[in-house]
Structure 1
Amino acid sequence: MKVENAVMPSPEQAMGFFGMEEDGPFVMVNLLRFKEKAEYADGSDSHLTGAEAYARYGEEVRKLVEGLGGKIRYQGRVAGLLLGEVEDLWDVVALAEYPSLAAFREMAMSPAMHAIEHHRKAGLAGQLNIRTKPGEGF
């Protein structure tokens, strides 16, 4: 299995994701890996760690998610791996619940999101975002 962290989706990934059928609430699993030091495009805040830069984004995105009727369900530091193998572990796992794909798209395309995404880019080395549906599976 190939695992490839990314900071932003490709246009094809974004079109495929947002082109999915609207089917109600979902939970996004976010596997986050931070840069050792923040890397802002303008060179500012170079004293911050990647995690500190991302925390600026995280606090503001929490407000956006809650404003849509969603909720940050969980956030925790990755402490170890019991089963499987990956080259590098992620630093943090976060679960965010969204009321709909339309609500998520509205947030992702909003001016408010655009205004904070520089913190995300400054702090993240890469991530995986996995959309899950409650009550489905096995």
Structure 2
Amino acid sequence: MEVVNQVMPTAARAMAFFGGAEDGPFVMVNLLKFKAQAEYADGSGAGLTGAEAYARYGAGVRKLVEGLGGKVRYSGAVTGLMLGEVEELWDLVALAEYPSLAAFRAMAMSPEMHAIEHHRKAGLAGQLNIRTKPGKGF
């Protein structure tokens, strides 16, 4: 299995994701890898780590998620790997629950998201976003 961290989806990937069938609530699993130092396009944020820049984004996105009726369910540092192999571990795992794909799309396209996304881009080296659907367990 090849794993490719990305900061932004391709246009085709975004269209396929948002063009999917609406099927109610879902949880997004976010596997995050931070830059050692934040890289703001305008040169601001000197001295911030990537994790610190992303934390600015995280504080803003939490408000957006909760404002649309969602919840940040979990956020924690990756501290080890028991099974499998990866070249590098992710730095953080976050789980966010959204009421619907439409709500997630509205948040992603909102002016409020646009106002904070520069912190995300400054701090992230890459990430995986995995959409999951609550089930009956295993």
- What is the TM-score normalised by the length of structure 2? 0.98
Q: Deviations over 1:32-78 (max 9, x none)?
A: 00000000001111200000000000000000000000000000000
Aligned pair count reads 138
* 1:134 Cα offset (Å): 0.3
* 1:10 Cα offset (Å): 0.4
Question: What residue identity is the alignment partner of 1:53?
Answer: A
Alignment of 1:27-106 (within 5 A): 27-106=27-106
Once residues 10 and 137 of structure 1 are traced to their aligned partners in structure 2, the CA distance between those partners, rounded to angstroms, is: 32
Unaligned runs of 5+ in 1: none
Question: What residue identity is the alignment partner of 2:93?
Answer: V
Structure 1 runs (4+) deviating above 4 angstroms are none
Which residue of 2 is the match for residue 134 of structure 1? 134
Question: What residue identity is the alignment partner of 1:80?
Answer: G
Once residues 98 and 86 of structure 1 are traced to their aligned partners in structure 2, the CA distance between those partners, rounded to angstroms, is: 29
* 1:88 Cα offset (Å): 0.6
Question: What residue identity is the alignment partner of 1:68?
Answer: L
Once residues 24 and 18 of structure 2 are traced to their aligned partners in structure 1, the CA distance between those partners, rounded to angstroms, is: 13
Matched, 1:20 2:52: no
* 1:137 Cα offset (Å): 6.8
* 1:14 Cα offset (Å): 0.2
Alignment of 1:116-127 (within 5 A): 116-127=116-127
Once residues 118 and 137 of structure 1 are traced to their aligned partners in structure 2, the CA distance between those partners, rounded to angstroms, is: 37
* 1:136 Cα offset (Å): 5.3
Question: What residue identity is the alignment partner of 1:76?
Answer: G
Unaligned runs of 5+ in 2: none
Percent sequence identity over matched residues?
A: 80
Which residue of 2 is the match for residue 110 of structure 1? 110
Query: What do you get for the CA RMSD once the two structures are aligned?
Result: 0.9
